Structure 1
Amino acid sequence: MSTARNSLALILVALAATGAAGQQTASTALPPIRPLGKATATSTDLMGAVSQVRALPGGRILVNDNLGRKVVLFEPGLSASKVVADTTSATANAYSSRAGGLIAYKGDSTLFVDPISLAMLVIDGKGNVTRVISVPRPNEANALIGGPNGTPGFDAQGRLVYRAPPNFRIVPPPGGDMSKMQIPQMPDSVAVVRIALDTRVVDTVAFLKIAKTNMTVTQTPNGGMSVTSTINPMQVVDDWAVTADGRVAVVRGQEYKIEWVDGKGAIAASNKIPFAWRRLDDSTKTAFIDSTKAAMETLRQQAVTRAQAGGAGNMPIAFGPGGAGGAMDMGAMGGMRIEINMRGGDGPRGAAPGASNGAPPTGGPTNIQIPPLNFVNPSELPDYAPPFTAGAVRADLDGNVWIRTSNVYGGGSVYDIVNAKGELTDRVLLPTGRVIAGFGPGVVYMGFRDGAGVRIEMAPIRSATP
């Protein structure tokens, strides 16, 4: 939740709305936009980020801090807290050097996914690690982190549901000649899958349209690798969520409707969701591209700095959410993610001077470069702003689906709330700078940044009746 990342997300949802005022179209009357209830609790402890919140019985919550590399248990009212997992010996280095994921599990238990060790810690309702189980598909461990890839969860049959990585593999060039390196075409769709943890049987739930990026790789004069990409930052994508009853809600961006997939794979499609579509004129498209370029350049520079601070043993450069060190967050741009791992000869985890137990290496600078990003011509943007971006869909505890739309009001994000029948029942405005990280009974948990840092805020979904 850095300032640069928040600024980018605001650009992506705000320019499409404010630049085309008065050009809305909606075929059906929309519910009025109402504010979220006033916050009833705010944490005093600062976080690096509020990536995920898991509500527990009695008002406790578990919070995943992907930037601070820790999982924290907060008491009711966000008062006292204790660290459940971090990178120190006090928790046996339970949180490694890379981002992890937090997934609601059986009863009041929770899974913490560590992509480095390929392990999932089972945390009970009191914040104690009770046992460790293995990640079901090691090559897809990063997909369990969440973020713009969607929030993993369990269906009614107890199968783990998540968005699988794209079918995209870079083959090393013959003889290691980087000048002959070729990048295959990026796919424009991915699968949502579910897997039984006991049998490891995998079932494909649905396919999602994702953002597509064109990439090329060239060799630098010093023998390194340079990646050039051409990005369309406003693409129509699909998203998904596991609902409270265990169904999978697939939200289609083109039609703006929900397809519900039950445990047997049967699909029930709802009607289109009413929406205030925003037409984009040429000047708005140009302003959008220019502002996005500026925001992404800031993030690129940050990624370069982090990459150069690492060692050459195991340095991942990631474009997208939930990545390792050197990640450039493009989650608001449709969930696009490309990760390039440069590994030494010491195995999967790698090591470098100053690195131990999976911590980020601290050796000399790497020879990987991240050149300035290229963007498509503004004329290639759609004539209407897409209704949402990747990672915009969440499910609450009451069976509703919350969709963070591309429309804003007064600087805050507007969420469409769709019930289990696929009906738009409410539209809720979040305060400026807030991002939903999870739900509790009748409440929503958000992360926000103030002058001191990042905090957690709890607010009722509805204001108290006077």
Structure 2
Amino acid sequence: MQAIGVGFGGPWADSVGILRIAGIRQAIDTVARVKRQDVRRSESGGANNRNVQISPIPLSPQDAWGVAADGSVVVVRTGDYSLEWFGTDGTTVRGAPQPFDAVRIRTAEKEEYLAAQGRSGGGIGIRIDISNGEIQMGFQRGGGGGSPREIDQYDWPDRKPPIYSGTVLVDPLNRAWVRRHVEAGEPSTYDIFDRAGSLTATITLDNGNRVIGFGNGCVYVVRYDEFDLNYLERYALPST
């Protein structure tokens, strides 16, 4: 039995470790390190009344990772869009970087991102207040319809990273499904990689639909209608 978790190297570390717990003795080892999402940090006040605010930067580059049924870990590097497999025996397989065209972030991309965040409860902003040596931390969720006022609350990069952050799903054929960033309104796009880290296929779904898991010979997809109601759909798992 193996469990995978993320170890946090401090509140503003730019990367974190993926930890594996294995064996009867529950030995812990660091499988890999992954890049975290960029954040905005602002400070105000004096030495004894200092306010610190930390909030994530939407659509900033962040590595994605997932776990296969045999305990192997897959990491997708956002910098050069390459994929790595870390086996339970300590071996590492690295695939070649994939070419990609970084999508320019316009108003439509910002609106689409915030609408998607609103469906899942929004992103989390962190506020830290230090007053007379006492520390208080608060969390605030964001993400809604993407109004101009809401858009202006965030710092935005000029272009999208190649991939979505979060969990990389691995299907029963030991292939990693990596969701690509595309222009607003375009079909949801997934690249499929084998255990050698090679791109073997690209799958498209209706805009906004997303893969959430796999079954025996099938793939499960969530679809949203115009009222943001969720529908679970099942499709045959593609073999190539």
TM-score bucket of the superposed structures, by smaller chain: 0.7 to 0.9
1:164-186 CA-partner distances (Å, limit 9, x unpaired):
34522xxxxxxxxxxxxxxxxx1
Shift of 1:461: 2.6
* Partner Cα separation in structure 2 for residue 398 and residue 293 of structure 1: 31
User: What is the aligned partner in structure 2 of residue 461 from structure 1?
Assistant: 237
User: What is the aligned partner in structure 1 of residue 37 from structure 2?
Assistant: 211
Q: Would you say the 8 A contact 2:43–2:52 is kept in 1?
A: yes
Shift of 1:418: 0.7
Structure 2 vs 1, CA of residues 210 and 248 (structure 1 numbering), >3 Å: closer, same or farther? same
Task: Give the 5 Å matches for 1:184-333.
Answer: 186-196=12-22, 198-216=24-42, 228-229=53-54, 231-273=56-98, 275-278=99-102, 280=104, 285=105, 287=107, 291=111, 328-330=121-123
Shift of 1:437: 1.3
Structure 2 vs 1, CA of residues 397 and 445 (structure 1 numbering), >3 Å: closer, same or farther? same
User: Which has more helix, going by share of residues?
Assistant: 1
Shift of 1:266: 2.7
Shift of 1:436: 1.4
* Partner Cα separation in structure 2 for residue 390 and residue 269 of structure 1: 19
Shift of 1:431: 2.5
User: What is the aligned partner in structure 2 of residue 80 from structure 1?
Assistant: none
User: What is the aligned partner in structure 1 of residue 134 from structure 2?
Assistant: none
* Partner Cα separation in structure 2 for residue 292 and residue 402 of structure 1: 22
Shift of 1:410: 5.9
Structure 2 vs 1, CA of residues 408 and 426 (structure 1 numbering), >3 Å: closer, same or farther? farther
Shift of 1:237: 1.6
Task: Give the 5 Å matches for 1:291-440.
Answer: 291=111, 328-330=121-123, 370=140, 374-376=153-155, 381-382=157-158, 384-391=159-166, 393-407=168-182, 411-440=186-215
1:286-310 CA-partner distances (Å, limit 9, x unpaired):
53686379759x95xx9xxxxxxxx
1:198-233 CA-partner distances (Å, limit 9, x unpaired):
4232110000011121334779xxxxx987445532
5+ residue gaps, structure 2, are 129-137, 143-149
User: What is the aligned partner in structure 1 of residue 131 from structure 2?
Assistant: none
* Partner Cα separation in structure 1 for residue 209 and residue 230 of structure 2: 11
User: What is the aligned partner in structure 1 of residue 5 from structure 2?
Assistant: 162
Structure 2 vs 1, CA of residues 216 and 197 (structure 1 numbering), >3 Å: closer, same or farther? farther
* Partner Cα separation in structure 2 for residue 166 and residue 213 of structure 1: 15
Shift of 1:250: 1.2
TM-score (norm 1): 0.40
1:409-439 CA-partner distances (Å, limit 9, x unpaired):
9642100011111111110011233221111
Q: Would you say the 8 A contact 2:109–2:184 is kept in 1?
A: no
Q: Would you say the 8 A contact 2:84–2:92 is kept in 1?
A: yes
Q: Would you say the 8 A contact 1:192–1:204 is kept in 2?
A: yes
User: What is the aligned partner in structure 2 of residue 305 from structure 1?
Assistant: none
Aligned pair count reads 216
Shift of 1:399: 0.8
Which is worse superposed, 436-445 or 232-241?
232-241
Matched to 1:267, the amino acid is T
1:358-386 CA-partner distances (Å, limit 9, x unpaired):
xxxxxxxxxx685978433x5xx25x531
TM-score (norm 2): 0.72
User: Which has more strand, going by share of residues?
Assistant: 2
Alignment RMSD, CA only?
A: 3.7
Structure 2 vs 1, CA of residues 290 and 227 (structure 1 numbering), >3 Å: closer, same or farther? farther
5+ residue gaps, structure 1, are 1-157, 169-185, 220-224, 303-320, 322-327, 331-336, 342-367
Q: Which has the higher contact order (CA 8 A, sep 6+)?
A: 1
* Partner Cα separation in structure 2 for residue 413 and residue 392 of structure 1: 16
SS at match of 1:205: strand
Q: Would you say the 8 A contact 2:222–2:230 is kept in 1?
A: yes
Q: Would you say the 8 A contact 2:179–2:190 is kept in 1?
A: yes
Structure 2 vs 1, CA of residues 265 and 413 (structure 1 numbering), >3 Å: closer, same or farther? same
Shift of 1:455: 3.0
Q: Would you say the 8 A contact 1:445–1:458 is kept in 2?
A: yes
* Partner Cα separation in structure 1 for residue 21 and residue 29 of structure 2: 6
* Partner Cα separation in structure 2 for residue 265 and residue 338 of structure 1: 36
**Rg comparison, structure with higher value:** 1
* Partner Cα separation in structure 2 for residue 289 and residue 213 of structure 1: 19
SS at match of 2:203: strand
Matched to 1:278, the amino acid is A
